[in-house]
Amino acid sequence: MRPFEYVRAADAGQAVTLVSADPDTSYLAGGTTQLDLMKDGVLGPARLVDITRLPLGGITHTGTAVRVGATTTMEELAADPVVAERLPFVREALLLGASTQLRNLATIGGNLLQRARCRYFRDPTVEACNKRNPGSGCAAMTGFARMHAILGTSEHCIALHASDVAIPLVALDTVVHVQGMDGPRGIPLTEFHLPPGDTPHVENVLRHGELITAIEVPLLPEGARSHYLKVRDRVSYEFALTSAGTALVVEEGTIRYARVALGGVGTVPWRAWAAEDVLLGAPANRDTFHAAADAALEGARTLPGTAFKVDLARRTLVRTLETTAGVEA
């Protein structure tokens, strides 16, 4: 592990100033991904600025939204009674997203910034990884690709965004609040992560030094039901092969409100706008749900190792919609 300097920030302004001034300086929060990557030699910052003692945690309720401080842990958010009652699929995704130990350390801000799980990205002995080593190629294209994306990919990278909780959050039009040298700004989560395109090493719209201070999560409308389903190789401590987060309001058999996002398939937390278009105004039945799933997976690009995900993702979404709507399989 490369030696690094450790600094504990006195306030958010100092933290932003320190990190913004030096491309080799990074923030440190829960560290549950970052420290692993440093030990593996994937990341090698010269200095870490610890933000865990800053007043960036806590959950406040506005009546229409939940504002979650960036250093709030996954466990704290999962335990919030308003989240349990008004955003049940957020709670489900949090509880399925990590072990209890990790949930007590990992922060919400860090969760959104977690790095790719691609084995080639995490192995610095592999030369070809455009995300870690821009312009070097992509070992996953010709190597072992199973836990990889099928939506939003490019010829330069097919790495998956592995967050669970980002799936319901992106479905809800969550806003990410950040503070930088130019002041604060709010970024819709739907625009926060960037698909790889020609620059897989650029994963989000943050400028270097911008600090996530909070996220603002709109509550579901009254009468909405929601569900998050995660399909994986084993029941715990495993990333999603496919997942889906859905929220519906159904009135007299007709869908009046629909939010759909997919996990385990996208290079970014995948908002399935096309599926929502199919659902809105349609009868809440299996035919509609299958049509929505077909729309959600349209344009999927696969390799032999990821081809199974298209049908699995369709089935995952149909099942999630059935459960959400209370329609028997």
Q: Which residues bind ligand SF4 (CB under 6 A)?
A: 116, 118, 120-121, 129-131, 138-140, 157-159, 200
Question: Are 285 and 261 contacting, i.e. CB atoms less than 8 angstroms apart?
Answer: no
- If the CB atoms of residues 140 and 171 are measured against ligand SF4, the closer one turns out to be 140
Label residue 264 left, alpha or beta by phi (over 0 means left) and psi (-120 to 50 means alpha): left
- If the CB atoms of residues 140 and 293 are measured against ligand SF4, the closer one turns out to be 140
Strands 47-50 and 211-218: unpaired
For the bound state, the minimum distance from the C-beta of residue 167 to ligand SF4, rounded and expressed in Å, comes to: 20
- If the CB atoms of residues 49 and 138 are measured against ligand SF4, the closer one turns out to be 138
- If the CB atoms of residues 159 and 295 are measured against ligand SF4, the closer one turns out to be 159
For the bound state, the minimum distance from the C-beta of residue 282 to ligand SF4, rounded and expressed in Å, comes to: 36
Q: How many CA atoms lie within 13 A of 208 on its CB side?
A: 10
How far apart CA 9 and CA 1 sit, in angstroms, is 23
4, 220, 283, 289, 319 from 327: Cα distances, Å: 55, 20, 11, 10, 9
Which token pair is 35?
A: 């420290």
For the bound state, the minimum distance from the C-beta of residue 117 to ligand SF4, rounded and expressed in Å, comes to: 9
- If the CB atoms of residues 131 and 314 are measured against ligand SF4, the closer one turns out to be 131
For the bound state, the minimum distance from the C-beta of residue 55 to ligand SF4, rounded and expressed in Å, comes to: 35
For the bound state, the minimum distance from the C-beta of residue 114 to ligand SF4, rounded and expressed in Å, comes to: 13
- If the CB atoms of residues 139 and 258 are measured against ligand SF4, the closer one turns out to be 139
- If the CB atoms of residues 59 and 149 are measured against ligand SF4, the closer one turns out to be 149
- Expressed in percent and rounded to 5, the helix, strand and coil fractions of the chain are 30, 25, 45
For the bound state, the minimum distance from the C-beta of residue 80 to ligand SF4, rounded and expressed in Å, comes to: 34
Q: Which residues contact 121 (CB under 8 A, 6 or more apart)?
A: 42, 115, 129, 131, 132, 159
109, 245, 150, 207: CA torsion to nearest 10: -20
For the bound state, the minimum distance from the C-beta of residue 299 to ligand SF4, rounded and expressed in Å, comes to: 18
Measured over all CA atoms, what is the biggest interatomic distance in the chain, rounded to whole angstroms?
A: 63
Question: Are 158 and 267 contacting, i.e. CB atoms less than 8 angstroms apart?
Answer: yes
